A and B are shown apart, each in its own frame.
Chain A
Amino acid sequence: DQQVKQNSPSLSVQEGRISILNCDYTNSMFDYFLWYKKYPAEGPTFLISISSIKDKNEDGRFTVFLNKSAKHLSLHIVPSQPGDSAVYFCAATTGANSKLTFGKGITLSVRP
């Protein structure tokens, strides 16, 4: 059973608009969440993270929101740029170690 779910396989957004990528989780023990981005033929690269003691973390155009009661997090990209077109993975971990549980990923396409 998947503990981290990215239910939408793809998202298409116009350049300059906001991209909202969603992620849900089932394990209430998860307390640290990450987003990774992956271009074709490359490995995933870390984007942004959030601890469960926060509900928002911002880094430039990227903001992650965490709703613990709903077991839901989202990544907002604004403004979206064509270079943001990639696969975005949500990941979560529990406890002190780095064992990550990933979602299946969502393919974002930003149209010029």
Chain B
Amino acid sequence: ETGVTQTPRHLVMGMTNKKSLKCEQHLGHNAMYWYKQSAKKPLELMFVYSLEERVENNSVPSRFSPECPNSSHLFLHLHTLQPEDSALYLCASSQDIRRTDTQYFGPGTRLTVL
């Protein structure tokens, strides 16, 4: 397995469910990101981790809870979501958090909240 992988690729959940999105990067990178892409909207940065420490939290509601247990894995824990949270959630990684470090994206998880 190479690059950035995300599981599951599709997820349907009810508003009272708890689920987790998983991201794994096989590139030896130090930084990892969660993005959200809603329909007809730009990609929005949610969280940034550098060496397993959260360095950016873009005013994301607490029903989204990130976890970075090591530099290769990133999770997004979901609980009591709303239908408007339905979106494509993309994970990315980069060597470090310098702006010239190319971000490599996973294929995304398509989330539907009923």
Contact = CB atoms under 8 A, between A and B. Distances in A.
A108 B33 CA distance: 27
B98 A97 contact: yes
A83 B106 CA distance: 20
A93 to B, nearest CB: 5
A80 B101 CA distance: 27
A72 B103 CA distance: 23
A104 B4 contact: no
B98 A2 contact: no
B62 interface: no
B105 interface: yes
Contacts of B97: 97-98
A8 interface: no
Nearest to B9: A41
A32 interface: yes
Given A97-B97, A98-B98, A45 B105 contact: yes
Contacts of B43: 44, 89, 100, 102
Nearest to A42: B107
Nearest to A51: B100
B81 interface: no
Contacts of A89: 42-43
A32 B100 contact: yes
A96 B98 contact: yes
B92 A104 contact: no
A95 interface: yes
B79 to A, nearest CB: 25
Interface of A: 2, 4, 32, 36, 41-46, 49, 89, 93, 95-105
25 contacts: A2-B42, A4-B42, A32-B99, A32-B100, A36-B105, A41-B107, A42-B107, A43-B90, A43-B105, A43-B107, A44-B90, A45-B105, A49-B100, A89-B42, A97-B97, A97-B98, A97-B99, A98-B94, A98-B98, A98-B101, A99-B45, A100-B43, A102-B43, A103-B42, A104-B42
